[in-house]
Structure 1
Amino acid sequence: MTTVLPERAGRRCHNVLNPLHSCHYFSPDLGRELAGAGVTDDRAAYLAVRSAAMGAVGAGTVTATFYTFRHDLVARHVPEVWRAASPEAVLAARARAVDATLRRLLGDEVLASAEVAEAARLALRATEACTRTARPLYAAHADLPVPAEPYLALWHAATLLREHRGDGHLAVLLGAELDPVEALVTHTATGKGMTPKWVLSTRGWHRADWEAATGRLRERGLLDAGGELTPDGAALRKEVEDATDRLDAAPYAHLGAAGVERLTELAKGLVTRALTAGAFPGDAFGRG
C-alpha cells in the first residue's frame, strides 16, 4: 500500500539516512581494513569499495556508474585494484570497517537499542519498493545479503536507498545536460555539495577542469561572475532535485507518511550523534 507524502518528505528522510551510509568513507577504519586486504591507496579504496558489489568490473563501468569521477583517475586504479584484493575481500573489509566505524561513532549501547532496531525495520521496509531497472549500483547492492545485526541491517538499507536515489539522479543530470564537472560545480554552488578542495582531491579533476566548467555554466547563464548560481541556475538545480525526488518516490510512498516521519526522526538522532563524534571532516562540505 502506498500513500501520498508531504512535499520533500522522502528527500528529507534520504538526507538523514545517507550520512549513516557515507560516514565510513571518511573513517580510518576503512583504510585500515582495506590495507589489510591489500588496498593501500585511498582513492583506489573508494573506487573498490563502492564498485565491489558489481564484481571485478572494468574502469568504464566504474566511470559510468560513478559519473563525477575523471576516467583517467578510475583507469589508474581499476581493474588493477582487483589484482590486490578480490571484490569479495573488499566487501568483507568494508563490512568490518562499517562495524568498527558505527561502534566508534555511536557506541555499543546505542547500536543495541530498540530505536536502532526499529529504524532498521522501517528502512528495510522502504527498500521493498526499490526497483533494479536502469539502477546498476542499487541492483548490485540489492543482491548482497542483509546483515543479521540490526545496526548493520540499517546501514545496508541506508546504502540501498542511497544508491537507488543516486542512480536515478544520474539520469536526471544527463537530462539537464550537466556534465560531471558541471554537476559538481553547481552542487557546490548550492552550499550542500563537497568543497572544491575535496572534489578535486577525490574525483581526479584539476583546477583547470573546474574553471572550464565554471566558464561553460556562465555562458549558459547558470552561474554569475562570482561563481554563485543565477536565478536560472538555482531553478535548474531545483528541477534536478525535484525530478530525482519523483524517480525516488516509491520507497517512501511504500513506507507511508507515518513510517517516513518516524524513520527520519530516528535517523536524525543517530546522525546528530555521529556528527558530534566527528564522522566527517569539518572542511568537506560547503562552498569552501
Structure 2
Amino acid sequence: MTTTLPPKAGRHCQGVLNPIHSTLYFSPDLDREFGALGFTDANAMRLAARSAPLGAVGPGPVAATFYNYNPELLARHLPAVWETASPAAVLDARLRTADATLRRLLGEETIASPELAEAAGLALEAAAACTPHARPLYAANADLPVPEEPHLAYWHAATLLREHRGDGHLAALLAAGLDPVEALVSHTATGKGMAPRWVLGTRGWGRSDWEAARERLRGRGILDADGELTESGARLRAELEETTDRLDTAPYEHLGAAGVARLTELGRGLLITAAGAGAFPADLLGKG
C-alpha cells in the first residue's frame, strides 16, 4: 500500500495509545477488582484480563497469541483461571478497572473534557479500518461492545489498535526467526523494552532462559559480547518495526494525516498526564 502519511506517523500515534491500554496491568485497581472475583496470583489476573476476549481458552491459544510467554507459566494458570471467574465476569472487572484507573490517573476534569472525547472519536475512527484476518487478539476485542463513556471508549480503541499492531508484529517476528525469548532479549537490548527483571517476572522465563537466548543471538551476530545490539542486530530490529508498520498501515491511512497528527497530539498529552500520575513503575524500561 502506498502511504500518504509522514514516515512513522502511524507508529508514533500507536506509541502514545498503546500505553493507555497497558496502564491496566500496573494498576492497583486491577488487584482490587480481580481480588474481589477470587484471584490471588498477579500473573493469573493479568493473563485472565488480556485473554478474556478469546473466551475460556487454555494455554495453547494464549501461547500462540501472546507469543513471548513461557508455556509452563500459561499451563499453570490456564484454563484454571476460568474456574475462578468466567470470561464475561473478567471482562466486566477489566472495564471497571480501566474506569477506576483512568479516573485516578487523568483526573475528573480531563475525563469530562472535550479533548478526551475528541481523542476517543479519532481513535475509534482509526480502529474502524482494522481487519480481523490473521489477527486473533484484535478480532476478539473487536467483538466487544464499544463503551459509551468517552474515556472507556478511548481505552477500548487503544486496545483495538494495540492488538491489531501486535498481531502483525508476531508475523514479523516469525519471519525474522526470533523465538519468544530471543524476541524479548533483542527488544530489551534496544533500550525500549522492559527491563529483564520485569520480563522474567511477568513472562515466566528464568535467568538461564534469558542467558541462553543471548548466546543464540550472539551466535547469529545480533548481539555482541557485552549483550549490546550489533549493527546487524540494530538493523534487524529496525526492519521488524518497518514490517510491522507496513502491516499496520490501514487504520492510520483511513484516519488521514491530519487526523493522525491530532490523535497523536491528544494521545501524547493524555499519556504524559497518566505517566506523571504514576501509571508505570520507574524501573519498567531499560537494559538493566
Q: Give TM-score, length-normalised by structure 1.
A: 0.99
Q: 2:69 is matched with which residue?
A: 69
Q: 1:18 is matched with which residue?
A: 18
* Mapped partners of 1:171, 1:29: distance in 2: 33
> Alignment identity in percent?
69
Q: Secondary structure at the match of 2:69?
A: coil
* Mapped partners of 1:206, 1:285: distance in 2: 18
Q: 2:209 is matched with which residue?
A: 209
What amino acid does structure 2 have at the position aligned with 1:53? P
Q: 2:139 is matched with which residue?
A: 139
Q: 2:92 is matched with which residue?
A: 92
4+ residue stretches of structure 1 with deviation over 6 A? none
Q: 1:40 is matched with which residue?
A: 40
Q: 1:113 is matched with which residue?
A: 113
The runs of 5 or more residues in structure 2 that have no matched partner are none
The answer on whether the counterparts of 1:173 and 1:183 sit within 8 Å (CA) in structure 2 is: yes
* Mapped partners of 1:104, 1:222: distance in 2: 42
Q: 1:183 is matched with which residue?
A: 183
Q: Secondary structure at the match of 2:129?
A: coil
Residues 81-118 of structure 1 show CA distances to partners (whole Å, capped at 9, x for unaligned) of 00000000100111111100000000011011000000
Compute the displacement of 1:5 (Å): 0.3
* Mapped partners of 2:68, 2:31: distance in 1: 22
* Mapped partners of 1:284, 1:254: distance in 2: 33
What amino acid does structure 2 have at the position aligned with 1:232? S
Compute the displacement of 1:244 (Å): 0.1
Q: 2:273 is matched with which residue?
A: 273
Compute the displacement of 1:234 (Å): 0.2
Q: 2:49 is matched with which residue?
A: 49
* Mapped partners of 1:285, 1:91: distance in 2: 28
Q: Give TM-score, length-normalised by structure 2.
A: 0.99
The runs of 5 or more residues in structure 1 that have no matched partner are none
Q: Secondary structure at the match of 2:103?
A: helix
Q: 2:250 is matched with which residue?
A: 250
* Mapped partners of 2:38, 2:248: distance in 1: 36
Q: 1:130 is matched with which residue?
A: 130
2:168 aligned with 1:165, yes or no? no
Compute the displacement of 1:3 (Å): 6.0
What amino acid does structure 1 have at the position aligned with 2:144? L
Compute the displacement of 1:215 (Å): 0.2
What amino acid does structure 2 have at the position aligned with 1:10? G
Residues 120-168 of structure 1 show CA distances to partners (whole Å, capped at 9, x for unaligned) of 0000000111000000000000000000001100000000000000000
The answer on whether the counterparts of 1:6 and 1:257 sit within 8 Å (CA) in structure 2 is: yes
Residues 2-59 of structure 1 show CA distances to partners (whole Å, capped at 9, x for unaligned) of 9610000000000001111111110000011001112221000111010000100111
Q: How does 1:223-242 map to 2 (within 5 A)?
A: 223-242=223-242
Q: 2:59 is matched with which residue?
A: 59
What amino acid does structure 1 have at the position aligned with 2:146? V
What amino acid does structure 2 have at the position aligned with 1:230? T
The answer on whether the counterparts of 1:3 and 1:254 sit within 8 Å (CA) in structure 2 is: no
Compute the displacement of 1:73 (Å): 0.2
What amino acid does structure 2 have at the position aligned with 1:132? P
Kindly tell me the number of residue pairs found equivalent between the two proteins. 287
* Mapped partners of 1:138, 1:209: distance in 2: 29
Q: Secondary structure at the match of 2:223?
A: coil
Tell me how large the CA RMSD over aligned residues is.
Answer: 0.8
What amino acid does structure 2 have at the position aligned with 1:50? R
* Mapped partners of 2:258, 2:3: distance in 1: 10
Compute the displacement of 1:238 (Å): 0.4
* Mapped partners of 2:84, 2:167: distance in 1: 28
